[in-house]
Structure formats: structure tokens, C-alpha cells
Copies of this chain bind each other. A is one copy, B any other.
Amino acid sequence: MFNIEDIRAQWAKQRPDIDTAPMATIGRVVRLSALLCEQMSKTHEKHGLNSASFDVLATLLRSGPPYALSPNDLLATMMVTSGTMTNRIDQLEKDGLVERVRNPKDRRSVFVQLTETGRKIIDAAVTDHVMVQRNLVEGLSDEDLATLNGILDKGLAALSQD
């Protein structure tokens, strides 16, 4: 519908002083990310999940048996606030996909554990999800992917320091 080079052309006309080369690349990264998320989200919804709940369940699954992590562990890997995590867990618990299990060693904390239903659902959803991801990058060769990983890592390195 509208592309980034058109936007650069507009800026060149209205604000010829500015350097739009960084914008050209950043714009592509942000746009591509949004489109990828939109597509992946459709898959999650097919399994009765949204992206947020998929993320929580997938994190539990890949942690391996007994599929239990604390809310604190979960929010640290997901870069969301504690209030957001409480809400996500509440929803998943209401749907019977996880349960809160008390931690006998520390009564402040709980474990969020996949139920059997939750494990089955996320197992299937992940299988579907990775197939969709394969399709989403099918326009790119293995070499493209490797090149992309390398350059993106350079960009990530500059931003992830802390």
C-alpha cells in the first residue's frame, strides 16, 4: 500500500536536511516485525490462544518437565511487568491451562505449572507455530537467514547492554 522509500521521498522534499538512511532500515525492521507478529498471532488464535498466552505456555513447555516456573522467572524472560504477568496467569488458570502451585520452600512465591490440558494444547500449538514460521521465511535462502542473523546480532549487541 505505501512503502518506506515513498516515505523517504516525502521527507526529502519537506525536510531535505535530514538523513533518512537509518529510517529506511529501522522502518523495514519494525514493519517486518509487525507483519510477522500479525501472521503468527493468527496461528495462536487457531489454538484458542493469543500471543501473550502462547508465550507463557511455550516458555513453560521449553523449560522441560515438570513444566513449572515462577511468575518472576516468566516475566523476566518476557520483558513485561509483574501486573501483566499476574493477569496472564489468571487468564490461563481460569482456562485450566496452568495452575498455581505453592512453593513449600518460599511462601512468597508460587510455581506456574502446565496442566495436562495445557501441555497438550501448547504442544500442538508449537508444532503448528514452527511450521508457520518456516513458511514466513520461505522467501529467504539459508544464506540470507545466516547473513540476517549476523547483522541483526550486531544491532542487538549495541542495544542489549545492561
Of B10, B142, B160, the residue contacting A62 (CB under 8 A) is B10
Of B10, B31, B62, B158, the residue contacting A156 (CB under 8 A) is B31
- Tell me the bound Cα distance from A19 to B151 in angstroms: 21
28 CB-based A-B contacts, threshold 8 Å: A1-B160, A7-B62, A14-B62, A14-B63, A14-B64, A15-B126, A21-B142, A22-B134, A22-B136, A22-B145, A23-B130, A23-B133, A24-B145, A25-B149, A26-B137, A28-B152, A28-B153, A28-B156, A29-B29, A29-B32, A30-B33, A32-B155, A136-B155, A136-B159, A137-B155, A138-B158, A139-B158, A140-B154
Chain B residues contacting A33 (CB-CB under 8 Å) are 29-30, 32-34
Q: Which are the 3 A-B pairs with shortest beta-carbon distances? A: A33-B33, A22-B133, A139-B158
A156/B25 contact (C-beta < 8 A), A20-B130, A130-B19 known? no
A26/B36 in contact, CB under 8 A = yes
Chain B residues contacting A158 (CB-CB under 8 Å) are 136, 138-139
Judged by a CB distance under 8 angstroms, whether A127 is at the interface is yes
How many copies of the shown chain assemble into the complex?
Answer: 2
- Tell me the bound Cα distance from A156 to B79 in angstroms: 26
- Give the size category of A's interface with B: 35 or more
Q: How far is the CB of A128 from chain B (nearest CB, A)?
A: 11
B145/A25 in contact, CB under 8 A = yes
Judged by a CB distance under 8 angstroms, whether A76 is at the interface is yes
A67 to B, closest residue via Cβ: B14
Additional A-B contacts beyond A26-B136, A30-B33 (11; CB < 8 A): A14-B61, A15-B126, A21-B142, A21-B145, A28-B148, A29-B152, A31-B156, A32-B33, A32-B155, A136-B155, A148-B152
